[in-house]
Amino acid sequence: MRDGFIKTAAATPSIRVADCAFNGRKITDLIREAAGLGVKVLVFPELCVTGYTCGDLFLQRTLLASAEATLERIMGETSGFDMLIALGLPAALEGKLYNTAALFCHGELLALVPKTHIPNYGEFYERRWFEPAPGEGRRVAFAGQETYFGTDAVLRCRSVPELGVGVEICEDLWAPEPNSGRLAACGATIILNLSASNELVGKSEYRRELVKNQSARLLTAYVYADAGEGESTTDLVFAGHDLICENGTVLNERRFVTGLTVSEVDVKRLTFERRRMTTFPPEERAFTIPFDLKVEETTLTRSLARNPFVPEGQEARDRRCQEIFTIQSQGLKKRAEHTGARRLVIGVSGGLDSTLALLVAHRTALSLGLPASAVLAVTMPCFGTTERTKSNATALSERLGAELRTVDITESVLLHFKSIGHDPKVQSVVFENAQARERTQVLMDIANAENGILVGTGDLSELALGWATYNGDHMSMYGVNGGVPKTLVRYVVGWYADTCGDDEVSALLNDILATPVSPELLPAKDGEISQRTEDIVGPYELHDFFLYHFLRWGAEPEKVLRLASIAFEGVYSREEILRWLKTFIKRFFAQQFKRSCLPDGPKVGSVALSPRGDWRMPSDASAVTWLERLGVRDV
Domain final residue, candidates 484, 510, 537:
537
Residue 578 lies in a domain: no
Residue 234 has what pLDDT? 80
**Could you give the CA distance from residue 561 to residue 632 in angstroms, rounded to a whole number?**
14
The reply to whether 170 belongs to the active site is: yes
- Domain hosting 211: range is 2-291
Q: Residues 40, 115, 582, 594: which is the catalytic one?
A: 115
pTM: 0.91
Q: Residues 7, 26, 46, 171: which is the catalytic one?
A: 46
Using DSSP's 3-state secondary structure scheme, residue 527 falls into coil
Residue 554 lies in a domain: no
**Could you give the CA distance from residue 267 to residue 274 in angstroms, rounded to a whole number?**
10
Tell me: do 393 and 478 sit in the same domain: yes
Query: What secondary structure does DSSP assign to 482-496, as a single string?
Result: TTS-HHHHHHHHHHH
Tell me: do 57 and 179 sit in the same domain: yes
**Could you give the CA distance from residue 52 to residue 232 in angstroms, rounded to a whole number?**
8
Q: Do residues 560 and 546 lie in contact, with contact meaning Cβ atoms separated by under 8 Å?
A: yes
Residues of the chain with pLDDT under 50: none
Exposed, middle or buried by CB within 10 Å (0-12, 13-18, 19+), for 544? buried
Residue 233 has what pLDDT? 80
Exposed, middle or buried by CB within 10 Å (0-12, 13-18, 19+), for 553? buried
| Total structural domains within the chain | 2
Tell me: do 249 and 386 sit in the same domain: no
Query: What secondary structure does DSSP assign to 452-477, as a single string?
Result: EEEEE---HHHHHHT-S-TTTTT--S
The reply to whether 46 belongs to the active site is: yes
Q: Do residues 584 and 543 lie in contact, with contact meaning Cβ atoms separated by under 8 Å?
A: yes
| Chain Cα centroid distance, residue 603 | 17
**Could you give the CA distance from residue 272 to residue 219 in angstroms, rounded to a whole number?**
10
Q: Do residues 89 and 45 lie in contact, with contact meaning Cβ atoms separated by under 8 Å?
A: no
Residue 571 has what pLDDT? 96
**Could you give the CA distance from residue 548 to residue 331 in angstroms, rounded to a whole number?**
23
Q: What CATH number should be reported for the domain holding residue 327?
A: 3.40.50.620
**Could you give the CA distance from residue 307 to residue 413 in angstroms, rounded to a whole number?**
39
Tell me: do 322 and 259 sit in the same domain: no
Tell me: do 356 and 263 sit in the same domain: no
Q: Do residues 43 and 12 lie in contact, with contact meaning Cβ atoms separated by under 8 Å?
A: no
Residue 635 lies in a domain: no
Tell me: do 256 and 349 sit in the same domain: no
The residue type found at 341 is A
Q: Do residues 44 and 86 lie in contact, with contact meaning Cβ atoms separated by under 8 Å?
A: yes
Nearest to residue 383, comparing CAs of 435, 314, 323, 458?
Answer: 435
Tell me: do 208 and 170 sit in the same domain: yes
DSSP 198: B
Residue 240 lies in a domain: yes
Tell me: do 416 and 525 sit in the same domain: yes
Give Dmax (Cα) for the chain: 100
Tell me: do 260 and 348 sit in the same domain: no
DSSP 238: B
Domain final residue, candidates 483, 514, 537:
537
**Could you give the CA distance from residue 479 to residue 565 in angstroms, rounded to a whole number?**
33
Residue 22 lies in a domain: yes
Tell me: do 273 and 323 sit in the same domain: no
**Could you give the CA distance from residue 590 to residue 537 in angstroms, rounded to a whole number?**
14
Q: Residues 54, 105, 157, 170: which is the catalytic one?
A: 170
What's the Cα-to-Cα distance from 53 to each of 129, 236, 243, 372, rounded to whole Å?
12, 9, 22, 69
Tell me: do 358 and 222 sit in the same domain: no
Which helix (H) or strand (E) segment holds residue 212: the answer is helix 203-218
Q: What CATH number should be reported for the domain holding residue 27?
A: 3.60.110.10
The reply to whether 525 belongs to the active site is: no
Tell me: do 197 and 235 sit in the same domain: yes
Domain final residue, candidates 479, 504, 537:
537
Residue 13 lies in a domain: yes
Residue 378 lies in a domain: yes
**Could you give the CA distance from residue 190 to residue 416 in angstroms, rounded to a whole number?**
62
Residue 526 has what pLDDT? 64
Residue 589 lies in a domain: no
**Could you give the CA distance from residue 103 to residue 388 in angstroms, rounded to a whole number?**
67
Using DSSP's 3-state secondary structure scheme, residue 121 falls into strand
Q: Do residues 405 and 439 lie in contact, with contact meaning Cβ atoms separated by under 8 Å?
A: no
Parallel, antiparallel, or unpaired: how do β-strands 259-266 and 5-12 relate? Answer: antiparallel
What's the Cα-to-Cα distance from 604 to each of 244, 366, 479, rounded to whole Å?
28, 21, 12
